Amino acid sequence: MSKRALQIVTAILGTIPTATGAIGLLGLRDPLYVHFGVVPNVALDSNLRFLSGVWLGVGLTVFGVIPRIERHGFTFRALWGMIFLGGVGRLISLLDAGPPPLPFFGVLALEIVGAPLFVLWQRKIARDATAGA
């Protein structure tokens, strides 16, 4: 699996936090929450908007590592570490509050299983770049 493939997949996946972070800045007016009829709550709205801003920042940072992905190991691991921890939170929610809508299971798999795999992939690309230098 090549550096170029990792860059492409990372760019595709980077659109998720970028787009959902931007949409999430709508707070409880986010179409997802409107669809589920979430009752207006100022504290929840504020937290959603804050976390959506952080999520948007994650997405934008993803795009920052893409050009020289082999040299941004720490940042790449930090990003996927945050995503993994988000998956842990999602898993706790599943156990505590019950199962989410079906598409969330795919996201959960990416967060819990995919995160370590992407870190290993980037590490291999970085090693190959060092060996070739």
Length of the chain: 133
Domain map (residue ranges) of the chain: 3-132
User: pLDDT tens track of the chain, all 133 residues?
Assistant: 899 999 999 999 999 999 999 999 999 999 989 999 999 999 999 999 999 999 999 999 999 999 999 999 999 999 999 999 999 999 999 999 999 999 999 999 999 999 999 999 999 999 999 997 6
Tell me how far apart the alpha carbons of residues 79 and 48 are, in angstroms, rounded to a whole number.
19
- Residue environment code for 100-130, b if the CB has 16+ CB neighbours within 10 A, otherwise e: eeeeeeebbebbbebbeebbebbeebbeeee
Question: What predicted TM-score, i.e. pTM, was given to this entire model?
Answer: 0.91
3: Cα separation from own chain's centroid:
20
